[in-house]
Structure 1
Amino acid sequence: MSTPALRNCAFCLLAPILFFALLPTGSVCGAGEKTAPANPNPPPLEKAGLVLTFDDRNFDDWLAALPLFDQYGVKATFFISGPIDEKALAACRQLIAHGHAIGSHSVHHLKAVDYVREHSIEDYLRHEVQPQLDAWQAAGISVTSFAFPSSSSDAATETALLKIFRHLRIGGPMAPGDRLSDRDPFFTPIAQVPTRGALPSKGIDYAPTREDRTYDQLDAALTRTATRGEILTLYAHGIRNIGGKGHFITPQALEHLFLKARELKLAFYTFDQLPEVLEP
């Protein structure tokens, strides 16, 4: 074989290797490594706003509520629990097509602190986190955030999960008789968002029928958020009228929230839109 022919043959062998080497890296890494964010360099936040989130596998509810979200231009983050099977992937793709973000909520919805105490953080990542990330990576879906089931986290579990995810959603302290608008830990000044990987969140299921989530409580919290230039993270589960199983918020309560936010000129952010946390 002539020298030019040999060079051509060598190029044919190397070209596929070079092609795959130059492709962008996948959206999910192995346990203990950061995921590549859907938006790798989100800009700093300029407006006060809400980070609205929904949990578990309430796919039918969420998809049925898409016209309501679209009507008000609201984008939310949906934290998926359980296997990332075809039903989950189909729902994720529809939610993403409407501008929403997808987050991880673990495989078996176990309390992280209890699980790690009985096993190890490595076991938790291996059995509760990585299978979801592998499935999302195979489907080409980038996931940048994690919500702890039952808001069960501590310093050790948060440190471990922040090595994988850009942001975490955690719980926050609320005692009987507290007013949400007075509970500083739930509110993050927008200038401080890049310094906080874990954001406390307040549940709003059953609003306005519970004392800590009446319209008066929620309106006051949104007013504080707008007045002080802060971010407030809220979570719910299903979206439906009374009936069925599991926790839920009604479409009417959501619409009240959307209208109040519009009145106060609050933005709605997904977790994917929050800026990268700065290294200390």
Structure 2
Amino acid sequence: MNRKHFVFVVVAVLAATCSSPDASGEEPRSSVFDVDRGGVVMTFDDRNFDDWVNAIELFDRFGVNATFFISGKIDEQAVEAIGQLRSHGHAIGSHSVHHLKAVEYCQDHSPAVFLRNEIHPQLEAFQAAGVTPTSFAYPMSRNDAVTDETLLTVFRHLRTGKNVADGQRLCDVDAFFVPASRIHQQGCLIAKGIDYAPTRPDRTFEQIDAALIRAAENNEIIVFYAHRICATKPDGGHFVTPEALTQIFSKAKELNLPFYTFDQLP
């Protein structure tokens, strides 16, 4: 090999290495997805770090990547949990500094003050920890057009929540379902809570399974949210059991529904 050819090969190898997400040239699991397919976005809120880290094995078993929306300080405990979660392909989102109702806060102060006090300080702390969240989850699902417009200047996607009326089937509520091909047009996604599943009428396995079937048949994306992950009712906080998650993950796998993180949504 002459000198000119050798230099060309070295430059080509270096260029390929630098453009790849890792030295092996393989994209990390968290960036491989097909936006033309329906799927599930699993999300968890607040600061339940021990529960989330302990559930990593469950997520790995089913190939599930989730998004964890963290509230409060990005302190040493948060940074350690973030590192463990991200190393398994999970995404991190913002849930504000003080977990306040965004609508009421913006009305009492202003959207600019909300950004200054509740969003930017946390984003700076995230970035210091090597994380740039692309999404925000509203505490207590309190959002309106003003808060959406304000926060979409900072984040690519927002997440709020909605209840299902008594006697209503989750699979019949169009607001929970977004066609995968139009997900990039949906700034704020409406999620369905699954804490306490399957013990409440709006989150029985029959309800959840029917919603997953609709998503699979119509190439739609559905978002679920929960908080703690523990086998028995904790002293405080909303929770979902590993058994309930196993049921949901198994049904999604049976339907060939992929799991997306908010970072993966365009």
TM-score (norm. length: structure 1): 0.82
Deviations 1:34-57 (A, max 9, x none): xxxxxxx98750321000000000
Whether 1:139 and 2:126 are equivalent positions in the alignment is: no
**Residue 243 (structure 1) shift:** 2.7
Give the Cα separation in 1 of the matches to 2:174 and 2:128.
40
1:160–1:84: structure 2 CA closer, same or farther, 3 Å change rule?
same
**Residue 131 (structure 1) shift:** 1.1
1:43–1:98: structure 2 CA closer, same or farther, 3 Å change rule?
closer
Task: Report the equivalent of 2:19.
Answer: none
1:63 partner SS = helix
Deviations 1:132-168 (A, max 9, x none): 1000111211210000000000000000000000110
1:99-118 matches, cutoff 5 A: 99-118=89-108
1:201 partner SS = strand
1:1-280 matches, cutoff 5 A: 45-244=35-234, 245-275=236-266
Instruction: Tell me which moved more, 170-179 or 158-167.
Output: 170-179
Task: Report the equivalent of 1:9.
Answer: none
CA contact (8 A) 2:44 2:226 kept: yes
Give the Cα separation in 2 of the matches to 1:43 and 1:239.
26
Give the Cα separation in 1 of the matches to 2:37 and 2:58.
23
Report which of the two structures shows the higher radius of gyration computed on alpha carbons.
Answer: 1
**Residue 189 (structure 1) shift:** 0.6
Q: Which amino acid aligns with 2:131?
A: I
Deviations 1:96-147 (A, max 9, x none): 0010000000111100001111111111111111111000111211210000
Give the Cα separation in 2 of the matches to 1:62 and 1:116.
31
1:204–1:129: structure 2 CA closer, same or farther, 3 Å change rule?
same
Deviations 1:59-112 (A, max 9, x none): 000000000000111000000011111111111111000100000001111000
1:153 partner SS = coil
TM-score (norm. length: structure 2): 0.86
Task: Count how many residue pairs are aligned between Structure 1 and Structure 2.
Answer: 237
Give the Cα separation in 1 of the matches to 2:162 and 2:184.
19
Give the Cα separation in 2 of the matches to 1:180 and 1:206.
16
Among all aligned residue pairs of Structure 1 and Structure 2, give the percentage whose two residues are the same amino acid: 58
Runs of 4+ that moved beyond 3 A: 41-44
CA contact (8 A) 1:42 1:274 kept: no
1:168 partner SS = strand
Task: Report the equivalent of 1:3.
Answer: none
Deviations 1:153-197 (A, max 9, x none): 000000000000011012235222211000001000111101111
1:110 partner SS = coil
2:72 partner SS = coil
1:236–1:43: structure 2 CA closer, same or farther, 3 Å change rule?
closer
CA contact (8 A) 2:177 2:220 kept: yes
Q: Which runs of 5+ in 2 are unaligned?
A: 1-30
Give the RMSD, CA atoms, in angstroms. Answer: 1.6
Give the Cα separation in 1 of the matches to 2:132 and 2:232.
34
